Structure 1
């Protein structure tokens, strides 16, 4: 009896049984797992739906519409004063434009650490530092994974929420590469006679009345004009009447968002 017969006998099988098993194994067809169904297979775009483009193109379109966000908020407490871009302001810019282009910004994972600090008055503040992993999802469902960090102090139970809010603001500003349109800090070091170019009131008027200018961009123009102290300048509007840039921008914005109805 050969080695194969001995092995089969020791296992309580016959050679014929082993040969039959070998034939069955050879005839067995390995089935590949069925591909996941395409969630957009039966999708029919509506009139207001975004273009079905990859996420990196959709995010680029968002960036094109958000040209700048000025430092419109002011901190002035305990002898410290500075201007900054508030989280709510940043979200107000990004919210309608990401919606327009079918972009979602979703927190995927939050890693938090905590500590405590004493204030000068002796009270204890809870400190939270977070690293948040976000998924920027495009209209087709593909994803960009990015991270952002935030820190916050609070005397009660809101330090985690505040830290995540800061992380979201940093994500939108940093990954959107959004400038402030503030004067360059090095501008004072330019050679004598050099001037920083400033847009004319008429150029702002032309952009405001342009039908292609989105409501989000109209809001940005308002911040820019406020920063440049140009809101009160009068220009000829689309009907030839004199109107301030502030009034013109508010009126056009209301017309395009239905606020004037």
Structure 2
């Protein structure tokens, strides 16, 4: 006859004995720990044309420094409405080579859409699309900045979604990059002057563009100045004495000096 205390001690001894918990010989784990993912940058060796391997916030800062400003060089003039604007194609043309230079990718990762129908004054029907796009600005090392922008557009066919996404992209680049127009603030105080300074000639801009000491950043600023002066289409004699517009000349020289091509 055993006491309660003796039976408790016996149970405790059996619990402490772990021999019966050992795995049998030859046992193979059916769920092994997964192998760690390989580091894609482990064997990376920078090339001569590769960007610096820096965090995305620094790479994006370098993009902003190179862009500086984009002027409103395009004009809308329809149905009695007239204004200047910065089109998406123009904005992408500025950002494309600079983001490539600094190893920055701009990727849409999620798009939320909403649709409605609008009536035109003539009685037609247009489809309106509103989008909210989530973007990843990815740096050269793979880290990202996540941003959201909205866009909306009307179209009589099936292009409203594409147009709205295009507007969202333009908003991302201009607002996320804090890109000014370079125009004078319309609210700034104006000072009356007796003699206005004469505008620069097309030839003086050509000479500055061709000057080897002119930096890529200054070349971009010249482009903004020419856009504001409506001189991008002005033809001058280039370094080969052939006629070429200031816009084409500036873009070509910028591409040669940054390695981005034309």
TM-score by length of 1: 0.75
Match for residue 79 of structure 1? Answer: 80
Q: Is residue 190 of structure 1 aligned with residue 190 of structure 2?
A: yes
CA distance in 2, matches of 1:120, 1:85: 27
Query: Where does the alignment leave 5 or more consecutive residues of structure 2 unmatched?
Result: 23-31
Aligned-residue offset at 1:163 = 0.5
Match for residue 46 of structure 2? Answer: 45
> Where in structure 2 are the equivalents of 1:95-174 lying within 5 Å?
95-174=96-175
Call closer, same or farther: CA 1:136–1:248 in 2, change over 3 Å.
closer
CA distance in 2, matches of 1:204, 1:24: 86
Aligned-residue offset at 1:99 = 0.6
CA distance in 1, matches of 2:195, 2:51: 42
Q: Which moved more, 1:161-170 or 1:248-257?
A: 248-257
Match for residue 221 of structure 1? Answer: 222
Match for residue 59 of structure 2? Answer: 58
CA distance in 1, matches of 2:124, 2:165: 23
Q: Is the 8 A contact 2:71 2:227 kept in 1?
A: no
Q: Which moved more, 1:200-209 or 1:174-183?
A: 200-209
Aligned-residue offset at 1:139 = 0.2
Q: Is the 8 A contact 2:105 2:137 kept in 1?
A: yes
Match for residue 20 of structure 1? Answer: 17
CA distance in 2, matches of 1:33, 1:197: 72
CA distance in 1, matches of 2:87, 2:52: 30
Q: Which moved more, 1:225-234 or 1:158-167?
A: 225-234
Aligned-residue offset at 1:113 = 1.1
Q: RMSD of the alignment, in Å?
A: 4.1
Aligned-residue offset at 1:197 = 9.6
SS at match of 1:90: helix
CA distance in 2, matches of 1:113, 1:245: 43
Deviations 1:173-228 (A, max 9, x none): 001111111232124x43444999999666884465245633x8646633421322
Q: Is the 8 A contact 1:150 1:166 kept in 2?
A: yes
Q: Is the 8 A contact 1:208 1:252 kept in 2?
A: yes
Deviations 1:34-74 (A, max 9, x none): 65432211101111111001000100110111021111222
Q: Is the 8 A contact 1:111 1:130 kept in 2?
A: yes
Call closer, same or farther: CA 1:227–1:50 in 2, change over 3 Å.
same
Match for residue 28 of structure 1? Answer: none
